[in-house]
């Protein structure tokens, strides 16, 4: 499968799109639904000033960890007091100040979490993969043309000045990976003056915008009807907005992606001014088997395709209570992208895309002389939903249903 560009050869993917469309029409007829659930409350309690960061290390755009899915399966569930420690957070302000906030957890029942601790493939073992970031044929699609780039859901993807990607989840909030701003020991270069880039057209599109209706490739994959047309190859540029503050959970700040730290590889940025774009809602991550076609989607700015927004979808694989392992092709730079799904919202009577995770990157481990590689996304659990939602809303009343 070739990458999607404005090249005539792009039409070679049409047979595949047709097959995907047929499969999703079947799956969408059953209307996989978002199941709203009451989430616990995570409230800040006490905030203290911490020593100023060093900002010495370069941001790493990939993540390594000695803990594979089987390792995570053996990790005991954190206690209530562990969770309070892990969900405490640091806030980096644009003036260089650093604060640490303790939190309280209310209404949390660990027995109500029905998420499987670990699930495996049909073989009963974790998949062994080659040490590479593209598995087999490259299944990524380079999105071009402002009629696509500036419309939802592609318009929610943004670029961080440290080299990662992010997703708009509020009027002035961006969800990304913690390792994009913090290496596990200290904040990285550029974190204090962090900027978020929004794609903007350099020149007016000479093509008629009516030619490219919003019946894009994601609608084909997710079950929506409509014709397919290749996009124009417009010249694009980034417009940058400074971050006002950055929140990072203490679960990450205890060593670079150690056995538990990878579960908390997420961060939230608050911008200095509203971005005035449509954002994507947060959602509690459902079990993989409940996802339409068991698929996940995300868009980001992969380094091997500079200046391009890259979209991909793939089948979700193994999962733990905090991590989702999938087969999405990606390169460094895509870290921090919001992993989302599209399901039916029964209360609002419409299809709704929601961010259910954060793409952390490529995790590889050496075991008995063999390399195992996994693409890892951090799942938004009820507790993480409560925490991130509070960061966005500033109150817990609007964060009780995820």
Residues 141, 26, 17: CA angle, nearest 5 degrees: 25
Determine which one of 179, 182, 247, 279 is catalytic: 179
Beta bridge partners of 326: 316, 375
- b/e per residue, 154-182, with b = 16+ CB within 10 A? bbbbbbbbbbbbbbbbbebbbbbbbbbbb
Helix or strand (DSSP H, E) at 73: helix 69-74
Long-range contacts (CB closer than 8 Å, 24 or more residues apart) made by 111-115: 113/321, 113/381, 113/382, 114/287, 115/285, 115/287, 115/319, 115/321, 115/379, 115/381
CA angle 81, 83, 85 (to 5 degrees): 75
Tell me if residue 179 is catalytic.
yes
- Inter-axis angle of helices 382-393 and 80-87, nearest 10: 40
Exposure class string for 52-71: b at 16+ Cβ within 10 A, else e: ebeeebebbbbbebebbbbe
H/E run at residue 316: strand 309-320
Identify the active-site residue in 138, 259, 304, 345: 259
The one-character DSSP state at 104 is: E
- Residues 268 and 392: their CA atoms lie apart, in Å, by 8
Phi, psi of 273 (to 5 degrees): -150, 160
User: DSSP character for 272?
Assistant: S
Active site residue 335: yes
CB neighbourhood size of 215 (10 A): 14
Helix, strand or coil for residue 388?
A: helix
Q: Which of 65, 155, 321, 335 is catalytic?
A: 335
Active site residue 94: no
Cα-based distances in Å from 270 to 93, 100, 195, 266, 393: 10, 16, 10, 14, 11
DSSP letters of 32-53?
Answer: -B----B--EEEEEEEEEEPPP
Strand locations in 1-76 (E)? 41-50
d(CA 243, CA 272): 6
Any idea which residues carry the catalytic annotation? 179, 259, 335
């Amino acid at each position: 499968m070739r990458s999607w560009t404005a090249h005539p050869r792009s039409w070679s993917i049409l047979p595949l799109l047709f097959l995907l469309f047929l499969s999703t029409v079947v799956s969408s007829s059953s209307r996989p639904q978002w199941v709203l659930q009451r989430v616990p409350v995570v409230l800040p309690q006490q905030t203290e000033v911490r020593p100023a960061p060093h900002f010495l290390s370069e941001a790493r755009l990939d993540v390594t960890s000695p803990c594979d899915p089987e390792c995570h399966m053996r990790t005991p569930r954190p206690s209530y007091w562990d969770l309070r420690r892990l969900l405490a957070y640091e806030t980096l302000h644009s003036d260089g100040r650093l604060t640490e906030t303790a939190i309280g957890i209310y209404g949390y029942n660990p027995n109500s979490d029905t998420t499987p601790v670990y699930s495996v493939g049909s073989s009963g073992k974790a998949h062994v993969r080659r040490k590479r970031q593209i598995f087999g044929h490259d299944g990524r699609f380079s999105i071009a043309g402002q009629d696509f780039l500036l419309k939802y859901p592609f318009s929610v993807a943004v670029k961080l000045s440290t080299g990662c990607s992010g997703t708009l989840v509020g009027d002035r909030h961006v969800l990304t990976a913690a390792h994009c701003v913090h290496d596990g020991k200290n904040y990285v270069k550029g974190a204090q003056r962090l900027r978020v880039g929004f794609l903007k057209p350099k020149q007016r599109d000479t093509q008629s915008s009516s030619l490219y209706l919003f019946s894009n490739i994601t609608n084909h994959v997710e079950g929506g009807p409509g014709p397919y047309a290749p996009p124009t190859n417009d010249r694009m540029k980034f417009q940058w907005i400074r971050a006002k503050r950055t929140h990072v959970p203490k679960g990450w700040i205890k060593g670079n992606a150690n056995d538990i730290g990878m579960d908390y590889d997420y961060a939230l940025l608050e911008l200095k001014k509203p971005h005035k774009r449509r954002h994507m809602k947060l959602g509690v991550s459902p079990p993989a088997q409940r996802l339409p076609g068991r698929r996940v989607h995300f868009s980001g700015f992969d380094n091997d395709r500079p200046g391009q927004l890259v979209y991909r979808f793939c089948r979700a694989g193994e999962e733990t209570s905090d991590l989702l392992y999938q087969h999405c092709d990606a390169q460094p730079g895509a870290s921090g992208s919001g992993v989302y799904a599209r399901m039916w919202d029964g209360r609002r009577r419409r299809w709704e895309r929601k961010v259910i995770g954060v793409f952390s990157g490529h995790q590889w481990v050496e075991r008995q002389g063999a390399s195992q590689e996994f693409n890892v996304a951090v799942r938004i659990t009820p507790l993480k939903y409560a925490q991130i939602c509070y960061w966005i809303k500033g109150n817990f009343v609007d964060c009780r249903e995820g």
